[in-house]
Chains A and B, each alone.
Chain A
């Protein structure tokens, strides 16, 4: 039986068309998410993760951002063709987003209560008093005393601001929650708290979630599926098992190798050599080829081919044209 798809993105292409250059931020990605599922969207800074997420809410700043092609379906809504009014109804209700920078993502001149209540008033058409009551409940839910609803963002710490942002995002019980590096700007001690809170609330509400992060530890703890992005494309996509235990793509392998290993402290870290290509001048062939230890001449000339393994695992790498090909990590794991 096919479960209901909350999110279905097909061949999404987003460019930033600046006067002097075009930035190829997202270059044809496919994403599917079922009810209650969590997808980890992993990649370096500049890989196009945030742009992809913003495109799902149609929030890519335009100009200069342009969604060149693709279809985005969120909870049955065709996001590319809905009207501005419908879009306002979908945002915050069907899909909402938690942003990366809690320090700047709250409006400094409105109370946190007002900022949570606004969402309730928009989507549930309640009066202000009732909405403020809901706001207080939401604050309690994220571990902030409801009595602080009348305080302003500058009176809260970074971790608490992120909780407020989570409260705003969850207020109207969205079917899809997109969390863009929700803990990157927070202290490590607060990170764990916020992640636990999000996991608990998600379970309670049954929301699907996209967790954007560059922290593979967070992915391992909280995600069912993983998509690894590089230079605007998803280069490896599968279940957590697929990507973590049956890693296929040389870039994903590089990511794992560059993690410190607590059981082998003496070993030097193995960073991936080189830099991600400038997204305004992408190479003709595989974007990772210049940094890839397995790259052949063919990789730099031809766009990489997608290969499927099992029902769920997709890898964008031409090396698998040769059925005997194995990355090192793959060999170790058998």
Chain B
């Protein structure tokens, strides 16, 4: 039995290294951060949601309905006059999210037990999973109103009351507004159609970034491990040319990956638009009218953002690769980069960037990999300034990081920097980034 424990202890010592513990700890930290952030966002969703009621009937019933909406956790602003289109545009400019139009003659119709139609405008600014929640608000509002009218009919006890009118006295003609354009269509159907176009982007992008970064870091590490790098550095090739050639090669491969992904996306979207089973023609017409289909400009911007993200990842990977002594250490060096890519991927999937707190918003914007994930959402929301700003930021960061990488290659740091995860004799654990003798030790407390 004693021998069993000797072997067990040895196995655990081999398995529980920093190589295995760091990713576990990082994932734990990221998920806890993500959980807290999503929780805060959900609390925001639970707060009373603003709705503008355009009451063109100005009757007792329509006033009562506004009161019902307040009880159903809506923050109601009532407008009684004006042109419908102008009011919607005003609400859009005031960052509102929903408009309900009660037409003239509404009360008379209800009293005559005739089904009534209201118009609803869902203003879309976000196409993430959180954004889709906004589309349920109108359904909730309509349901609250129908319940009220239904109760009213039942209480009146009028003879020959049609059960259909008791259940559905009010139906909605739904419109979706993006920017200043409105189109008729079911908001949920439209959002899910848009999400189908974009949901594949983060997954493919995550894979491409990680693949490209691992390729270049492994290439540097294997050159160091096989000592082919030393040989190359002693040849008449300029150091700048060496690092540029390495980055360009990986960049070209990454560009081909990005292009392949864009072509695949286009074909995927084409088949989606062309033969969407279960998707109504109205919804397809609506996304086309609302500009929720990527056009050439959209593809170019999205492609540029994706490419810039890959180049940033490559330049970081070159710097990280310079620390690697062998292929095994590449895994641990690339891990922080993977986490930095994973974080905006998850955040942008679950959080509405428009309503996020300023601190969280800037944290997301500061992470260069957030921009390719956000690009599609911004393009659909016609916020091209943010897409272009993101691309400029990514390229600026790339040039800075590429300069740092070139500097490392032009000095002897490329051979002397290394990541040492071994424990020292003093019993201090932790990470050591060292240049044969110069140690930057982060002590574990």
Is chain B found bound to chain A in the same assembly? no
